[in-house]
Amino acid sequence: MTDCLFCRIVAGEIPATVVSDSDDVMAFRDINPKAPEHILVIPKAHFDTAAAMATVDPLLAGKVVAEAGAIAEKLGFAADGYRLMFNTGANGGQEVLHAHLHILGGRPLGPMLAT
């Protein structure tokens, strides 16, 4: 998809601070971090949402989640805890229509939702 921000990052058209890169999955730092560690893990194949990805390719969805855990370990914040979050659709806060998993960590994160 030529108009998808994350597809353009995967294609190397837009720079990103890449944390990991494999055949199927890429992870990079969020440009507007909400925590000291805020990394996005994406499938390189385009899926609008995490649900679409999991329906079409459950193995790939598992790779995305597994990579998030490996990144938290590699960067040294897994032991203290972290949050994994998929946003889906407008009400879920999804800003880029490409499935992506947020890894948030590096400090206590507080309640799950702001009221």
Catalytic residues: 100
For 43, the 3-state DSSP assignment is: strand
Closest CA to 99 of 6, 1, 2: 6
Best CA proximity match to 41, nearest among 1, 71, 11, 2: 71
Cα-only R_g, the chain: 14
